[in-house]
Structure 1
Amino acid sequence: MSKKKIIKIISVIVGVIAVFIIGTLITYNVMLSPVSKDTTSITFEIPYKTTSIEVLESLKDSNLIKNVTAAKIYMKLNKITNIQAGIYELNKAMSTGEILKSFKDGKVIDDEITVTFVEGKRMPYYVDMIAKNFNYSSDEVNALLTDKEFLNELITNYWFISEDILNKDIYYPLEGYFFPDTYNFRKEASLKEIVLTLINGLAKKLAPYKKEIENSGYSVHQILTLASIVELEGVNDESRSGVASVFYNRLKDGWTLGSDVTTYYAVKKDFSSELTKEDLDTCNPYNTRSNCVTALPVGPICSSGLESIVATINPASTDYYYFVADKNKKTYYAKTQSEFNAIIADLKNQGLWYVYN
């Protein structure tokens, strides 16, 4: 082989390597660039003893960084080994480097407020809690929660939020999309920041179950809808997977769910009120006690806890179509209406029948 040919081959190899290196560097820098130009503040919490990889995965789930691997490489190259726990004020216009530097420097928020949201509550509860704890009126909160531009931003930015929330029959577009938990906020947090924190709470909880949801045959919206019913119908965490299985069996066979809690939501009554026959027969996209709805309601009826969501994603395998709980919170299951009626009669005879106050 001539010297000229050898030089030519070496040049080609060097060129290919150079192109690969340049391409890799460009990709690396793109992966470290900001997710968007949105400068809206987002409260991000790093709990004590959280590992670096857990922090990076949480950032990715919250749509604050583009790529976990690129972030890990950045940390190694820049010798970022100490991430301080605390509450940080971030935004999507920050690069991965800027975010990680703020963690390294420990730029935590001092002026914070802690708010606890409980499971099984409807959207008006969240509106009231936000208005009560921050300097916003209920009207201002509701205005943001129904703003079409904001809702479309959420649909674009979050894998689990779809156009289902824009259905005109839904009472509150984001019902069921706030995760009930204890959060730390800046005292002067913007409304958008508060709402995104609640949605990011759900994002973190759903992330480990993304593939299971995608393989379930149900949309995320449907999963959250059924989970909200399981949240209110299940008397404790142990009963939720069984309750979920009953509803899945009914859906599979084209039955109505027959859930009173959906009727309460449909007619906008709280659980201290009694349902009338007119309420039960109301033809409403939420009311599964009527014959108008033989599938899932149009949307969630409350915000579910993690146990109800997991039970809905991974229900028990049963052939039951009915359930009832006694006053001691023990749940009984039945395959037929006659079995169900017999259980109720037995509970009443034993003084175990649960009576709503």
Structure 2
Amino acid sequence: MRHVRALLLGLSLLALVVSCGGYIFLGELRATPATTGEPVEFIVEPGETADDIATRLGEAGLIRQPALFRLLVRWRNLDQQIQAGRYILSPTMTMSDILKVLQSGQVVNDIQITIPEGLRLEEIAAIIAAAGLVSEDEFLAVARDGERFRADYFLLNSLPAGATLEGYLFPDTYRFAPSADAETIVRKLLDRFVEQYSTIERSVRVPGVTVHQIVTMASIIQREAALLSEMPQISAVFWNRLKPQYAPLFGGGLLGADATVQYALGYDPIEGTWWQRELTVDELAVQSPYNTRVTPGLPPGPIAAPGLAALTAAAQPDETSPYLFFVASCERDGSHKFATTIEEFRVYEAEWLACQ
């Protein structure tokens, strides 16, 4: 009889604990972090887990107990139901209210833009303006003021005085609020650059170079290479041309990249483009610090926005490559033939001209 009473007492206590736990749980579901508060922008990234979302909701002051949010998601089997996007949430919302919004897909009407690799600032400005965000002039006024951002981005430490952010606005797909101003847009692109560059900054294999020189070289590789697989070799060609031991074999320290000439020439009103298909003899000789056919060394700065593959190639050229020249191949697939001597280069050049 005594054992029965003990069992009943234990069950009663267990029921009380469960009841109290359930009461506390329900109370948390109905509770809000605050009774007043400003709306908060909250972005759910594609592929983000419920655990990560719960942590960030807690950090943003939108929920009190991230662990209970995770439990609620699992209890309702909603792990895969939370929709990526930008939401406006409030600290006056309950945990259940927030979860309903996040699975509803009723996101704020963001504007999505895609910035391809290899564009110069003016082309990026045109994409942003065409999307209805800010005008080209507004964007360029901010993007050309590199000094404005130097203190906030350590990777801009080697940016020359008076330089623009050419090359530092990372090409990718972005979503912006319709009300985003030019500085917000530029900072988001800069943030992505920092994020991507951090993946290679500890593995730079070119001795004595700055971040600015890596980005400059990467922009040239981006414009010169058609195939990702050839970027390390093309990188090696350009770095080799700058080595003193190769100066007698190729232009005395000239980089000789036609893409830099294109940048120096700027917009062609006849073709209606920033990048021309063919360059005349006079154009190839244009006097500009960006014309690496007449000015030794790297140009003063990047000529376009390089992607991660080009940045990686600039930082990690093919160290086994002895090449100083490359010519487009007749395969017409974007590939090149590489040469170590001017004689070999002329043979490949003749082949290319013959198959035109």
| Residues 261 and 291 in structure 2, CA contact (< 8 A), matched pair in contact too | yes
CA gap of 1:234–1:110, structure 2 versus 1, over 3 A, is same
The equivalent of 1:46 in structure 2 is 45
**Alpha-carbon shift at residue 302 of structure 1 (Å):** 0.5
Within 5 Å, give how 1:251-266 maps onto structure 2.
251-253=242-244, 254=247, 255-266=253-264
CA gap of 1:313–1:188, structure 2 versus 1, over 3 A, is same
The equivalent of 1:160 in structure 2 is 155
Q: Using the alignment, how far apart are the partners of 2:66 and 2:50 within structure 1?
A: 17
CA gap of 1:296–1:53, structure 2 versus 1, over 3 A, is farther
Q: Using the alignment, how far apart are the partners of 1:336 and 1:314 within structure 2?
A: 23
Q: Secondary structure at the match of 1:160?
A: helix
2:342 counterpart of 1:337: yes
| Residues 262 and 276 in structure 2, CA contact (< 8 A), matched pair in contact too | no
| Residues 244 and 312 in structure 1, CA contact (< 8 A), matched pair in contact too | yes
List per-residue Cα deviations over 1:7-56 (Å, max 9, x = no partner).
Answer: xxxxxxxxxxxxxxxxxxxxxxxxxxxxxxxxxx9996622146978999
**Alpha-carbon shift at residue 228 of structure 1 (Å):** 0.7
Q: Using the alignment, how far apart are the partners of 2:49 and 2:205 within structure 1?
A: 28
CA gap of 1:236–1:273, structure 2 versus 1, over 3 A, is closer
The equivalent of 2:122 in structure 1 is 124
List per-residue Cα deviations over 1:199-256 (Å, max 9, x = no partner).
Answer: 1121221111122249742111111111111011112111111100101111113521
Q: Using the alignment, how far apart are the partners of 1:237 and 1:210 within structure 2?
A: 20
**Alpha-carbon shift at residue 288 of structure 1 (Å):** 0.4
2:325 counterpart of 1:322: yes
**Alpha-carbon shift at residue 275 of structure 1 (Å):** 2.3
The equivalent of 1:300 in structure 2 is 302
Q: Using the alignment, how far apart are the partners of 1:245 and 1:51 within structure 2?
A: 44
Q: Using the alignment, how far apart are the partners of 1:205 and 1:42 within structure 2?
A: 24
Q: Using the alignment, how far apart are the partners of 2:204 and 2:328 within structure 1?
A: 28
Q: Secondary structure at the match of 2:111?
A: strand
Q: Using the alignment, how far apart are the partners of 2:50 and 2:231 within structure 1?
A: 31
The 10-residue stretch of structure 1 (105-114 or 46-55) with the greater mean CA deviation from structure 2: 46-55
Q: Using the alignment, how far apart are the partners of 2:121 and 2:177 within structure 1?
A: 22
Q: Secondary structure at the match of 2:242?
A: helix
| Residues 326 and 337 in structure 2, CA contact (< 8 A), matched pair in contact too | yes
Q: Using the alignment, how far apart are the partners of 2:326 and 2:276 within structure 1?
A: 21
The 10-residue stretch of structure 1 (195-204 or 133-142) with the greater mean CA deviation from structure 2: 133-142
Letter of the 1:181 counterpart: D
2:206 counterpart of 1:218: no
Within 5 Å, give how 1:232-311 maps onto structure 2.
232-253=223-244, 254=247, 255-269=253-267, 270-272=274-276, 274-290=278-294, 292=295, 294-311=296-313
**Alpha-carbon shift at residue 260 of structure 1 (Å):** 0.7
Q: Secondary structure at the match of 2:226?
A: coil
Q: Using the alignment, how far apart are the partners of 1:316 and 1:343 within structure 2?
A: 21
List per-residue Cα deviations over 1:175-212 (Å, max 9, x = no partner).
Answer: 11111111111122122111111111212211111222
The equivalent of 1:185 in structure 2 is 176
The equivalent of 2:220 in structure 1 is 229
Q: Using the alignment, how far apart are the partners of 2:299 and 2:51 within structure 1?
A: 41
| Residues 165 and 174 in structure 1, CA contact (< 8 A), matched pair in contact too | no
Specify every segment of 5 or more residues in structure 1 that has no aligned partner in the other structure, as ranges.
1-40, 60-70, 91-100
**Alpha-carbon shift at residue 146 of structure 1 (Å):** 3.3
| Residues 42 and 193 in structure 1, CA contact (< 8 A), matched pair in contact too | no
Q: Using the alignment, how far apart are the partners of 1:156 and 1:236 within structure 2?
A: 36
Q: In the comparison of the two structures, how many residue pairs are matched?
A: 275
The 10-residue stretch of structure 1 (214-223 or 247-256) with the greater mean CA deviation from structure 2: 214-223
Structure index of larger Rg? 2
| Residues 205 and 316 in structure 2, CA contact (< 8 A), matched pair in contact too | no
Q: Percent identity?
A: 29
| Residues 86 and 108 in structure 2, CA contact (< 8 A), matched pair in contact too | no
TM-score w.r.t. length of structure 1:
0.67
The equivalent of 1:21 in structure 2 is none
Q: Using the alignment, how far apart are the partners of 1:219 and 1:347 within structure 2?
A: 36
Aligned-residue RMSD, C-alpha:
3.4
Q: Using the alignment, how far apart are the partners of 1:42 and 1:146 within structure 2?
A: 28
**Alpha-carbon shift at residue 264 of structure 1 (Å):** 0.8
| Residues 206 and 316 in structure 2, CA contact (< 8 A), matched pair in contact too | no
| Residues 237 and 307 in structure 1, CA contact (< 8 A), matched pair in contact too | yes
Q: Using the alignment, how far apart are the partners of 1:347 and 1:201 within structure 2?
A: 39
Q: Using the alignment, how far apart are the partners of 1:210 and 1:146 within structure 2?
A: 24
Match of 1:136 among 134, 137, 141: 134
CA gap of 1:113–1:125, structure 2 versus 1, over 3 A, is same
Match of 1:201 among 181, 185, 192: 192
The equivalent of 1:114 in structure 2 is 112
